[in-house]
Amino acid sequence: MKSGRWITQTESSTYLNEAMAIWLRDLRSEFRTRYAINAILMFAVTTLVAVSFSIGAFRIGEAEKPFLYAVLLWIILVFSALSGLSRSFVKEEEAGTMDVLRLSARPQAVFLGKLFFNLTLLGALELIIVPSFILFMEYEIEFPGFFAAMTISAGLGLGAGTTIVAAMIAQASARGALFSALSFPLLFPLMITAIKGCERAAAGMDSAGWPEVRIAVAYVIIMIIMSLFLFPLIWEE
Amino acid sequence: MKDGLGFVMAVNLIIWFGIAFYLFILDRKIKKLEGTRAGQDT
Amino acid sequence: MTAKVLLAIWMAIIIAAAFLYTEAASGFPGETSRILFFHVPQAWVATLAFLLSMIASAVYLAKRRVTADDLALSAAELGFLFCVLATVTGSIFAKATWGSFWNWDPRETSIVILLMIYGAYFALRSAVPDPEKKRVFAGVYAILAFITVPFLVFVVPRITASLHPEDTMNPANPGMDPKTLKVFLGSLFAYTALFVWMLRLRMRILRLEEMREEERRRQI
């Protein structure tokens, strides 16, 4: 359906309006069922507990902590994200509402709406896990502003890099493993940047200009633009 | 160590000629298939 | 026909020259530097194949010509093969020179990521049954993977120190003596020609399979 009116489109409607409509609808349904957020948090919490417990008694040198803890934190965040972010499209496929979604808004709006939803999930994930991690592991952070900016920008990157992949695998078979396999190579540079940035922030190394945050932001912008461009190709029937 | 060089070179050459031979055979087989395909196009 | 025979002879000459004609480079233990005649061209072909695959994918998405996707797939398959070869030869070299098979330096890390991208690409293709959709999805993924590469190239070296002999072994840097340079360039040419030959074979096979599918559909 290329021409004609979209269900959510009015005379003054923009991509953003349609996207927000989809986002709010997903938020409402998620608020009721809490299916995706539960899956993600469950994964994150269990991993965090396992890490905290295993490391707990072990004496790690103070010099090693900034880097090692950054690595552990991002392993937890990335793999929790990979366990739950495909839900945004897979649930539509399972409920049989993919076609309804196709009719209800323009492809780019669908992408943006789902992206916002994924970013909301990621925001919740980070809000809960990052402070918990810092607390349980007694992670000392010299530059909290830099650290926060790093986790936020890389969190955005996690969403930006995976949403279009989620849309693809929802239309394929063997979804779970495929989503992780496809997403991980795309996320790898971001993950490395996030680890380095958090290490820098924690250790108090020279971080004029917050270089890693800039790299993450560049990643977010490029991935979103390319996804907006490519999404219609994989979305149309 | 220089003594092993001839051996390593020989192994390399054998592997290479094996690969080249395989590719040649494959090429001939494909050509034959392409020939019969064209013949059957009605 | 003659081209292929000439290529086979040429490669054989290169192999022999790599062992008998050239002298081993001084900075490396024993004869280990000779592997550069094989390892570097393999890595080069793997990168070339990746580039080709991405461009072919973009062309397919724009024009929807099946031959473009055939090229993308063939290049990806061969790229994967040469990537594995480059990784193995690199690992052998690493063991001989620095004592361990794997070190996660930037080059090694990048090649692992490339392998993972190829793996994901093939997994995606086999997970989508509808042929047109399969090609579109694969093409989209190829492009997405490609745009993360600059980040990889830029970011990874900042994280890990490098064991890779960048300055002594960089092909762009003529730090090699004339004999070595000659054989190296000859090998580069041989491997590229080999890649092209195998690529064309693979594409012909894909074309034949498609023609067979068409006939089957016509008979239904």
Q: What angle do CA C105, C112, C175 make, to 5 degrees?
A: 50
Given C120, C136, C155, which is nearest A233 (Cβ)?
Answer: C136
pLDDT level of residue A63 (50, 70, 90 thresholds): confident
Instruction: Tell me how far apart the alpha carbons of residues A207 and A145 are, in angstroms, rounded to a whole number.
Output: 11
Question: Residue C52 CB: number of other CB atoms within 10 A?
Answer: 19
With 70 as the cut, is the pLDDT of residue C2 above it? yes
Mean pLDDT of A32-59: 88
Tokens matching residue A23: 């986002």
Under an 8 A CB cutoff, do C116 and A222 touch?
no
Tokens matching residue A130: 């990052």
Mean pLDDT for chain C overall = 85
- pLDDT digits over A182-231, tens only? 999 999 999 999 999 999 898 888 778 888 899 999 999 999 999 999 99
Please identify which residue in the block is written with the tokens 């295993």: A54
- Is the minimum CB–CB distance between C136 and chain A shorter than 8 Å? yes
Q: Of C71, C18, C1, C11, which is closest to residue C184 (Cα–Cα)?
A: C18
Q: In chain C, which residue's Cα lies nearest the Cα of B33? A: C208
Q: What would the DSSP string read from start to end of A100-132?
A: HHHHHS-HHHHHHHHHHHHHHHHHHHHHHHHHH
Contacts of B15 in chain C (CB under 8 A): none
pLDDT of residue A7: 60
Instruction: Tell me how far apart the alpha carbons of residues A223 and C219 are, in angstroms, rounded to a whole number.
Output: 45
More confident residue, A55 or C44: C44
Best mutation target, C59, C118, C144, to test chain A (most A CBs within 10 A): C144
What is the per-residue burial (b if ≥16 Cβ within 10 Å, else e) of A48-77? beebbeebeeeeeeeeebbbbbbebbbebb
Check: CB of residue C77 under 8 Å from CB of residue C202. Answer: yes
- Domain segments of chain C as ranges: 32-166+181-215
Report ipTM for this prediction. 0.88
Check: CB of residue A35 under 8 Å from CB of residue A122. Answer: no
- pLDDT digits over C43-81, tens only? 999 999 999 999 999 999 999 999 999 999 999 999 999
With 70 as the cut, is the pLDDT of residue C203 above it? yes
Under an 8 A CB cutoff, do B30 and C201 touch?
yes
Instruction: Tell me how far apart the alpha carbons of residues C134 and C38 are, in angstroms, rounded to a whole number.
Output: 35
Q: Of A98, A72, A164, A88, which is closest to residue A122 (Cα–Cα)?
A: A88
With 70 as the cut, is the pLDDT of residue C154 above it? yes
**For chain B, how many residues are written?**
42
Chains B and A are in contact, defined as 3 or more C-beta pairs closer than 8 angstroms: no
Best mutation target, C108, C110, C140, C156, to test chain A (most A CBs within 10 A): C140
